[in-house]
Structure 1
Amino acid sequence: MKKSALVTALAALTAALLGSGGLVSEAPRASAAAACTAADPDVYTPPATVPATPGTVLACRSVTLSQVPGSIAMSAWKVLYSSTDNQGRPAAVSGTLAVPSAPWTGAGPRPVVAFHPGTLGLGPQCAFSKQLAGAFQDEYEGDNVAALLKAGYAVAATDGPGYLDGRTHRYVAGTDSGHALLDIARAAPAVPGSGLSRQARVGLWGYSEGGAASLWAAQLAAGYAPELKVVGDASGGIPGDLRQVAAALDGGAFSGFLADAAVGIQAAYPALPLDSLLNDQGRQAVRTAKSVCLVGTVTALAGRSIKDLTTAGLTLDQLYRQRGSDGRTWGEVLDAQKLGVDLGTYKITFPVLQYRGALDEVIPTATEDAVRAAYCAAGVSTGWKIYPGDHLLADNQAVGDVVSWLGDRFAGKAARSDC
């Protein structure tokens, strides 16, 4: 589904509903893939063992990105690469690398933008790499990728953790997502034929779920991937405080995103209880969430409340007090995903651009504003822009500004701080 069609569908649906810690690692070793000739299923098959070196290419295959508009000449690959989960264990992640065919004419090596898409849904068919290649047309950020390629930049787009066969996407799990984004930037030069340099300047970019992931990558970069030459991060529509976001979503038009978050966080922290708390309606909601993409998530799960899905009729606050087998509660785990906390440990050494829609109806603007305030208070150079649209529209409205802002960072220009 193209962005314009998706905007129309979601706008109509919304109107109808509302009216009725860091691990230091060396650079990756030589790619485990001698050539990009893997079969498509191999990219999504969890390997028996995953190398401990993040950014190792495990499998790759050449593809055509039919959902990137503009007839841009490029080389593109699906990739399976190694990353690290929130427990410091090796994990495999899938993604896409695209490199423009036109020679890079700027200073230094061709820059790389590590990109994390916004919410796509938990179904295995929803992976960004599958959608860009046209296997399922529900994606809405092909325009973002096209704009970067037209500017001459390579795009290393992670699917995010958990889109492999038999796994569950670790939706809004901060450390896992931040690692996955940094590690596809590490993997990009190791893809045979990419022509990319390990000395390339790297930009980070994401919106909504991707905005949280890219800010987590920014917070983790210095400790986890110090060899990467990250020069800036652009993050929009940020769900910076999952408790605050959950309160706004529960029982509303976009409560499907809350279902995704519960499933994704439990996949990342399996000691947390979930199935044992659910009634039959709740278990069906989980099955639905795991099988559909963005539009299906919104339409099939709208109006659901956590109290109607649990055997004890739990409120969100009661759910947060439920304790897992490792002793941590749901609330403690959600608090660990909060952005803008402990910035003395998570030191960001490059400029950040944050943005949101003035009419954001999905993410409470208070949590987006709070992340900006926390970064400013910590001395992070933070640009800030508010667009006139809602949550979905602001993503598209910002594309030109973000690409220009990243271009200035790649050119070594000083960034303006709006703190």
Structure 2
Amino acid sequence: MRRALAPAAALTIAFAAMSPAAMADAAGRGNAPCSATDEQIYTPPVQPAGAPGDVLACLPAEFPKIPGQIPKRSWKLQYRSTDINGAPVAVSGMLAVPEAPWPGPNPRPVVAFNPGTLGLGPQCAYSKQMSGAHEDAYEIEQLAAALKAGYAVVATDGMGYLNGQRHPYMVGQNAGHALLDAVRAASRLPESGIDPAAPAGLWGYSEGGQAALWATQLAASYAPELNIAGTAAGGVPGDLRVVGNALNGGQYAGFAAAALVGFHVGYPRMPFDELLNDNGRQAVAKLSGSCLIDTIFGFAKERVEDYTTEGLTVDEIYALPGPDGTTWGQIADRHKLGVGIGAPGSGAQYEIEFPVFQYRGAKEQIIPVETEERTRTAYCEAGIPTRWKPDVDGDHLIAAKSAIPDVMAWFGDRFAGAPAPDDCGR
């Protein structure tokens, strides 16, 4: 149960004596106003308190890299989520709410956004990039478009961006939990004015598209109280086996290498460190401190085989078992999107109660087209209303921006309660 606020004077004295971790824990119990420091936002508590989605710390913050003159109130925040093992974990992110009153008859909608690949290091956090703390900022226009439409926007950094952490890159269930809990946190920030019953949209591209679809698949079981109107997911790496083999040795090999490191973060008991040669250990150290640009250009044409003592291929790594006999490949298969999904009442592992919009660039050059096609087909075969746009202008990187008008139109119709289009041929 959330406690009532204490008098302001008592709060000032009590919080002055607290460590950052203690302050974060107290905030999660509802005792703190939005008065954390930037350091406290990015300092993980010893034990995250409260329920999934509870705000652990918050700070009014400007985001100067968002273009356009959109009067808004905005915050950095730290909130509680759940990792793949069911353990509580703290996640950072940002929230922005337009100053203009929402004109609709229903509560102001919330768009929950997961950016594409940022990099593994804590300095790469999206909320830091938006506040001007890092030079690699991108995927800015998405937030600006949603704010211009009058929607509140909550953007998760994803797990592993707090001080001393590494991002569990491509661990899909972690990403899905973090995005759903960001929706919860948006309404639990007392100053936001967001209605807990507000319609929400899930949005992401590339790594963020994977996160958005995992949130879609987990929503009914993990966050059934949320009023999710629809999902927009683009450039989705739906099958990590296919993606890893395709990227290895190519221009974007850094993404495959980063995924191996990210899965090691998520599954630390699986074989990893003992496989590496000196080159591999140096690559892991470099990747762990790299953001997007360095991940792309610092590892172009690199091959996983050159990082292990035995020259293991991606498929040979997939075949390696962990302590309980589970192989890396079986773990990768658990993260394949579109498996075990079904419509409401189907009895499927992941029942999906709202429509989705999947899209990709017409000149896609990073994510293998076949896995994007298969993910869309799996959703159609499961009876999920699915809009499909495979011809967004540009390649993988450009399409993220080119699709914005289509995504905004999609969300506008979903929030207005219009019938969802379905390109599945039913």
User: In 2, Cα distance between the equivalents of 1:363 and 1:168?
Assistant: 23
Q: 1:5-404 maps to which residues of 2 (within 5 A)?
A: 32=30, 34-51=32-49, 53-343=51-341, 344-386=348-390, 387-404=392-409
User: In 1, Cα distance between the equivalents of 2:339 and 2:423?
Assistant: 20
User: In 1, Cα distance between the equivalents of 2:296 and 2:225?
Assistant: 40
Q: CA deviation at 1:230?
A: 0.4
Where 1:193 maps in the other structure, the secondary structure is helix
Q: CA deviation at 1:418?
A: 0.3
User: Which of 414, 418, 426 is 1:413 aligned to?
Assistant: 418
User: In 2, Cα distance between the equivalents of 1:407 and 1:33?
Assistant: 36
* 1:15 aligned residue: none
> 1:7-52 CA deviation, whole Å, 9 max, x = no partner?
xxxxxxxxxxxxxxxxxxxxxx986352111010111111011125
Where 2:158 maps in the other structure, the secondary structure is coil
Letter in 1 for 2:256: L
User: In 1, Cα distance between the equivalents of 2:163 and 2:378?
Assistant: 38
Where 2:212 maps in the other structure, the secondary structure is helix
TM-score, normalised relative to structure 2: 0.90
User: In 2, Cα distance between the equivalents of 1:281 and 1:64?
Assistant: 41
The 8 Å contact of residues 32 and 59 in structure 1, kept in 2 or not, is answered as no
User: In 2, Cα distance between the equivalents of 1:32 and 1:178?
Assistant: 24
User: In 1, Cα distance between the equivalents of 2:128 and 2:199?
Assistant: 27
User: In 2, Cα distance between the equivalents of 1:110 and 1:270?
Assistant: 41
Letter in 1 for 2:263: I
The 8 Å contact of residues 28 and 57 in structure 2, kept in 1 or not, is answered as no
Letter in 2 for 1:412: G
Gaps of 5+ in 1: 1-28
Q: CA deviation at 1:271?
A: 1.2
Where 1:367 maps in the other structure, the secondary structure is helix
> 1:43-98 CA deviation, whole Å, 9 max, x = no partner?
11110111251001000001100110012111111110000011111111110011
Where 1:47 maps in the other structure, the secondary structure is coil
Q: Which stretch of structure 1 is more off in the superposition, 33-42 or 193-202? A: 33-42
Aligned residues: CA RMSD: 1.2
Q: CA deviation at 1:168?
A: 0.8
* 1:19 aligned residue: none
The 8 Å contact of residues 340 and 374 in structure 1, kept in 2 or not, is answered as yes
Q: CA deviation at 1:329?
A: 1.2
User: In 1, Cα distance between the equivalents of 2:151 and 2:31?
Assistant: 23
The 8 Å contact of residues 85 and 176 in structure 1, kept in 2 or not, is answered as yes
The number of aligned residues is: 391
The 8 Å contact of residues 169 and 264 in structure 1, kept in 2 or not, is answered as yes
User: In 2, Cα distance between the equivalents of 1:310 and 1:226?
Assistant: 44
Letter in 2 for 1:383: R
Where 2:195 maps in the other structure, the secondary structure is coil
Q: CA deviation at 1:325?
A: 2.6
Q: Which stretch of structure 1 is more off in the superposition, 43-52 or 101-110? A: 43-52
Q: CA deviation at 1:327?
A: 2.8
TM-score, normalised relative to structure 1: 0.92
Gaps of 5+ in 2: 1-26, 342-347
Where 1:301 maps in the other structure, the secondary structure is coil
Letter in 2 for 1:56: D
Name the structure, 1 or 2, with higher relative contact order (CA <8 Å, separation 6+): 1
Where 1:79 maps in the other structure, the secondary structure is strand
* 2:7 aligned residue: none
